[in-house]
Amino acid sequence: MVRPLVAPTPGLVGRIYALTILVAVIAAVATGCSSVPETLPPSESISQGWLPRLADVFYQRIANRRFNSIATFHDPALREFFATGEAFADYYADLAQALDYERFEANRPLRITLLEFEAKEPDRVLIHVHFSGANARPLRWWSSNLVRSDQWEFREGRWLIRPGKL
């Protein structure tokens, strides 16, 4: 005699799904907590390499982005490195103007290199950054370059960029 296949009850499927999600969340929290630092003093976050990694994340986010574009200006991933929207707008305007003055093609830096970290105070670091990209001037085969210094400060338990105009 052939027995018909019995589908699992909806309650059982729901419990298995919930248990699977719970195990995944617990595993993610357990592994994530060991790698994410708690709030460190500024000097320790520099010596342990958190500030260089954080700065690298920010500058890689702005590489290959057009700075004469409203889409770049409204990108929330860039704004999280600033204390206020006004601070971001000041930084953005200053960088866009510098890229335009140096004649970057489409106001787009293609390569960004962190040159030096200069500690000014325990909670302030000056990061020297080199931007390079295609030259927008006709018949210029060489690249455009810009070296600027951005000030990062440790405030409210995190590193933020302080625009030069403030």
- The order of strands in the sheet holding 124-133 is 111-121, 124-133, 144-155, 158-162
22 token code pair: 């719970």
For residue 122, the Cα-to-chain-centroid distance in whole angstroms is 22
115-136 residue pLDDT tens: 999 998 888 999 999 999 888 7
Residue holding tokens 């729901």? 14
Distance CA 1, CA 116 (A): 79
Which architecture, in CATH terms, is 42-162?
Roll (3.10)
**Residue 8 reports pLDDT greater than 90:** no
| 69-82 as b/e: b if 16+ CB within 10 A | eeebbebeebbebb
One-letter amino acid of 110: L
**What phi and psi values does residue 162 have, to the nearest 5 degrees?**
-105, 115
Residue 135 has what pLDDT?
85
Strand segments (E) across 19-143: 111-121, 124-133
Residue holding tokens 């990209």? 133
How would residue 150 be classed by pLDDT, with cut points 50, 70 and 90?
very high
How would residue 44 be classed by pLDDT, with cut points 50, 70 and 90?
low
